[in-house]
Amino acid sequence: MSVALRNVQRAVPVRRAPLRRAVCALRAALGVSRFDVGLVCAGNALMQRLNGDYRYCPEPTDVLSFPLHQVAAGELPRPRCRDEYNLGDIFLGVEYIYHQCRETGEDFDDVLTVTAAHGLCHLLGYRHDTKLEWEQMYQKEAQILEELNRLTGSRLRPLTAGLF
């Protein structure tokens, strides 16, 4: 199955091919390679609008996930037909992420990949509203990033290390 990647912003250049490859590897690490994923690289204006509409927080943000399936953390979707082999869509706030990276000195492409991993976990029911949920999500992110690191030689870690 595929990763449909669209860049709908012009503020920040995005290296789409490496991002698509990383998301494909992350899907494999999660055991959901047979599911499609939509990945949208968005600017601050769109992220602010979506965050306001869906989370009632009218500010730009780094990632928003819109799952097709409602599953508990750790469960895989059970599609009944071909059209349901889709996890949903991840909106990456690339402009927001870029500005954060400029402030912290972190590598933009690395943070984009880690943020996409976070979004994928949200598509699979992982949340971080409580300490227990955060710990479960953090462990899953660390696990799939470890697999990506093994394949690529990178040293990526979850961004949410100090959330709770």
pTM of the model: 0.95
Question: Quick check: is 164 in a domain?
Answer: no
Q: How many domains does the chain have?
A: 1
Question: Quick check: is 162 in a domain?
Answer: no
Residue type present at position 25: A
Question: Quick check: is 117 in a domain?
Answer: yes
Express each pLDDT in 84-141 by its tens digit.
999 999 999 999 999 999 999 999 999 999 999 999 999 999 999 999 999 999 999 9
Question: Quick check: is 58 in a domain?
Answer: yes
CATH of the domain at 51: 3.40.390.30
Distance CA 62, CA 81 (A): 32
Candidates 68, 74, 8; CA nearest to 44 is: 8
Q: Which residues pair with 71 in a beta bridge?
A: none
Q: Which domain does 129 fall in, by range?
A: 3-152
Q: Where are the alpha helices (DSSP H) in 7-126?
A: 16-30, 44-55, 94-104, 108-123
Checking DSSP bridges between strand 36-42 and strand 3-7, what pairing results, if any?
Answer: parallel
Q: Which residues pair with 92 in a beta bridge?
A: 41, 63
